Amino acid sequence: METFLLANRWLHITAGFIGFFVAPAALYVRKGGAAHRLWGRIFFWSMLVAGTTAIVSAAYNGLTFLLLTGIFSLYLAWFGYRSLYHKKLARGEARPALADWLGVGLGTLVFAGTIVYGLLHLRQNPVPVVFGGIGLMTTLRQIRGFLRTGPWPAGQWLLNHISGFVGSYIAAVSAFSATSLTFIPFPLNFLWPTLLMVPPLIWTQRRYKAQFAQGRPPAEVAAVRIQPEPAPPR
């Protein structure tokens, strides 16, 4: 068991280290380009590995809040990645898949439980209420979008993609700060990534929304796609 936990720890450190440096690269390069897709995929898989190994470690050591934080980061990474498949859904041309409902349902239960946990330990640790509240607002907004009969607001899938991946990165940095940056006092060690990164995220989303409101298609803002488009026939 000790060998397994040691391997799990080093796998977590390696994946987290990769994710910390890859995320800024994905944000810096042209959105929708080949480099953005490459760094984005690497970030997604690194967060998947880091989040899974964090859950294993937290569950074994009985660290409930870090367990919830790992799930929080995993869900937001999945949410950001899955949003890329919602282009047709956003145009009202498709309905949510079973995976979408299962994911958002599980996320809602976890985040509601995080809030309850935070309220029960509010004096000792108010951070779960913050993280749980952010997560619950995300899943409820997504459920509202899934239940919508007509098209989504222009570019909503792109806004979801951005908020999901940035939110996952914030959660990962928060967990790293809380466990490693011991010189930062509690609860600031958990909350400084949120305080630092959420304002630019809000500014970026408002900027994109303004462009969409002016009639600019989302594809001109960021041509995000899962696979390269087929070459035109000769």
Q: Which residues contact 221 (CB under 8 A, 6 or more apart)?
A: 31, 155, 158, 208, 211, 212
Q: Average pLDDT for residues 83-109, to the nearest whole number?
A: 86
Is residue 7 included in any domain, yes or no?
yes
* Number of structural domains in the chain: 1
Tell me if 157 sits within 8 A of 225, measured CB to CB.
no
Q: Please give the residue range of the domain that contains residue 141.
A: 2-221
Average pLDDT over the chain, rounded to whole?
A: 84
Amino acid 123: pLDDT: 81
Amino acid 225: pLDDT: 56
Amino acid 42: pLDDT: 92
Is residue 30 included in any domain, yes or no?
yes
What tokens were used for 8? 């799990």
Buried b / exposed e over 75-105, threshold 16 CB at 10 Å, is: bbbbbbbbbbebbebbeeeeebeeebeebbe
Task: Convert the pLDDT of each residue in 183-194 to its tens digit.
Answer: 999 889 888 999
Is residue 231 included in any domain, yes or no?
no
Is residue 162 included in any domain, yes or no?
yes
Amino acid 4: pLDDT: 87
Is residue 23 included in any domain, yes or no?
yes
Q: 179 pLDDT band (50/70/90 cuts)?
A: confident
Tell me if 154 sits within 8 A of 204, measured CB to CB.
no
Task: Convert the pLDDT of each residue in 38-89 to its tens digit.
Answer: 888 999 999 999 889 988 888 888 887 778 788 888 899 999 998 888 887 7
Is residue 130 included in any domain, yes or no?
yes
Is residue 86 included in any domain, yes or no?
yes
Is 160 buried (19+), middle (13-18) or exposed (0-12) by CB count in 10 A? buried
Kindly report the pTM of this predicted structure. 0.83
Is residue 74 included in any domain, yes or no?
yes
Amino acid 229: pLDDT: 43
